[in-house]
Structures are given as C-alpha cells and as structure tokens.
Amino acid sequence: MSPGASTEDTFRRKDLLGLRFLSAGEITHILDVAEQFRGLNTRAVKKVPTLRGKSVVHLFLEPSTRTRTSFDIAAKRMSADTFSISGSASSTTKGETLLDTAKNLAAMHPDIIVVRHRRAGGAMILADALPETCIINAGDGACEHPTQGLLDLLTIRRALGGFAGRTVTILGDITHSRVARSNIWGLTKVGAKVRVCGPPTLIPMGLEEWGVEVHHNLEEAVRGADVLMALRIQQERIPRGGHFFPTLREYSRLYGLNRDKLRRWARKDVVIMHPGPVNRGVELEPEVIDGDWSVILDQVENGVAVRMACMYLVLGGERAAAREGRG
C-alpha cells in the first residue's frame, strides 16, 4: 500500500515509514497492540512463536543504542531470526549505494528490513523499490523516527491516560530532529496540543501551520504543560562551522531544565521525557533525568513493545491470526 491517507482503525500497510502517513485510528491501533505485547517483556520466559520462520535484517547506517537493540530484542522475543548490519561493517564503506545494498539484502528474502539512514527519505526509497519486503523506518535524517514517536505516545498515554486536553512541550533542537517531527505528526493527530520551544535558529519557519504553538521563552512553554520532552542538539546534522547559539553554557541557561526551573514553573505532576541519548547537564540536569518526574526509562521499556507491534502488524499478523480463527 502506498503511504497515502487512511481513515482505518487498523493497520494494513506493508511498510512503516512515518507518522505523517498514518491516521489517528492507525496510530491508536498500533498503541493498543503494543499494550498487549508489553506484558511479555516482564515474564520469566520472554518468548512467543509469533514470528517463527520470519527473518528481520537490521540495516543501521547511522549509530544507535536504543533503537537497534530494542528492534533486535523485539524480533527475538517473537522468535524471528535477526541479522544486523552496521555502516562501518557494510559494503557501503566501499561505495555501494543504499538502494544496491538493500536490493542485495532483499535477494536473500528477509521478511522485514529495519533501516536507519542519515538521509531523509532513505526508508521510502527502499519501500518503493522492494515490493516483497516490509520496510520499517528506524530514523531517516531529520525527517522521521516513527517508532520513537509511537513509543513516546504510548508512554504519554500510559502516564496521563489519554491525549485529549493535554499539552506536550517539545524543547530544544526542533530543526534537526526527526523525533520532533514524528511526535508533532503523531500527537496532533491523536488530539494533543503541541508546543515547541527553543532558540529561533533551531525552530523551522512555518511550524504554526502544523497547528503547533511556537515559543522562544522557556517559562512560557513550561507553564501549564503536562509533558516536557527535551531533545538533544543534533550536532551530527549541523553543518561544520554552523553556529545556532553562542555557547552550550548559554543554551543550557536559557533552554535547559533543572530542579529549580521545574519547581518554579512546571505543574507538580509534570512528566519529563527524552528520546536519548541525553547530554547530561546540557538539555537536562542529572537531578531531572533521574528524578521522580522522569519517564525516560519507561520510554525505552515501551520501545520494545512498540517495535514488536510494528513488526507484527506490517507482516499482517492480525490478518493471519483472524484467518486461522485466532483473531
């Protein structure tokens, strides 16, 4: 199925490329399926036969700790066979293109390729070129990181009970952040109000047209928000010699969160999130990362269940289960 609009309350796509392509119903359905998988991750025996006989290739051409491990754990807990390829260990270092790499991998008939690539649109190119292989976008440049957006939504839904009437403030480097884009698409679709806050140089022009409130003053962005989601400055996407703020110390003074700012401006029950990796002492002080407000490790935990749900759904698991009278 092409990445066009859908109003369905289920998920019937071959690929998961971005939250901008999904309806609120599809997003909610993925979260509901992830919720069902969550329990498996704390059982004594963490294995089900759901994807037995399926093979999953993790093609990570950019560094990753959480996403890659979480996809691998998720696939193995569903009994799939998994194969990992990193940028430094692949033939892309010898000049092979992403598309040629993927076509060669597809010739070995994996069922899913999970791909992370530094260029926006990398996953979409593979989805179009490989009709027999499900493609899951694990981050494409500054464009989207849909499974991160979904795990963030699941974490918010679990913490707050829903999205209606809730305000989520996304703080920091919005311009270079695929996490910000996926969250903005996802949160606005399911009915949350989204604010972004950062220096003008790190917020793209025209975000208001997405239905997003734009702030440059941290206090205004924090007051009344239910969730504060801090983002790392994406140094790897900032062109060499690019200067978006005077110094890290200045950035942290104006846009970093510490206990004092939270006590003065934030709701008592505010929820602090961060997709990781965190630069301690820059966007968040350690007392915030490790404090009672933080659900940062809940995000990581929920990531495994979300990735189980995504792999299960792109492979048509629900349709197969229904055909066999199990759905």
Give 36 or 65: the residue with its C-beta nearer to ligand CP.
65
Site for ligand CP contains 155 (CB under 6 A): no
Applying CB under 6 A, which of residues 65, 91, 93, 104 lies at the interface with ligand CP? Answer: 65
Alpha-helical regions (H) of the chain: 24-38, 66-77, 98-106, 122-129, 146-160, 178-189, 218-222, 248-255, 259-265, 286-289, 296-314, 317-323
Binding segment toward ligand CP, per CB under 6 A, in 209-217, 261-269, 274-282, 308-316: 274-282
Shortest CB 178 distance to ligand CP, Å: 9
Q: Which of 23, 64, 86, 294 contacts ligand CP by CB under 6 A?
A: 64
How far apart are the C-alpha atoms of 156 and 180, rounded to whole Å? 15
Per-residue binding letters, 114-143, with ligand CP (x by CB under 6 A): -------------------------x----
Rule CB under 6 A: say whether 12 interacts with ligand CP: no
CA distances, 98 to each of 104, 125, 176, 210, 295 (Å): 10, 9, 22, 31, 35
Terminal-to-terminal C-alpha distance of the chain: 22
CB neighbour list of residue 222: distance below 8 Å, 6 or more residues apart: 169, 197, 228, 257, 261, 262, 265, 266, 270
CB of 69 to ligand CP, least distance (A): 8
The site for ligand CP, by CB under 6 A, has a size of 11
Instruction: State which amino acid sits at residue 66.
Output: R
Task: Give the residue, chosen from 92, 133, 148, 183, that forms a contact with ligand CP under the rule CB under 6 A.
Answer: 148
Q: Does 66 bind ligand CP (CB under 6 A)?
A: yes
Rounded CA separation 259/192 (Å): 26
Tell me the CA distances in angstroms from 5 to 209, 229, 273, 318, one per residue in order. 19, 27, 29, 21
Residue number, 26 or 72, with CB nearest to ligand CP = 72
228 bridge partner residues: 169, 272
Tell me how far, at minimum, the Cβ of 116 lies from ligand CP, in Å. 8
Decide if residue 18 touches ligand CP (CB under 6 A): no
Q: Which of 186, 256, 275, 317 binds ligand CP (CB under 6 A)?
A: 275
The residue ranges that bind ligand CP (CB under 6 A) are: 64-68, 139, 145, 148, 275-277
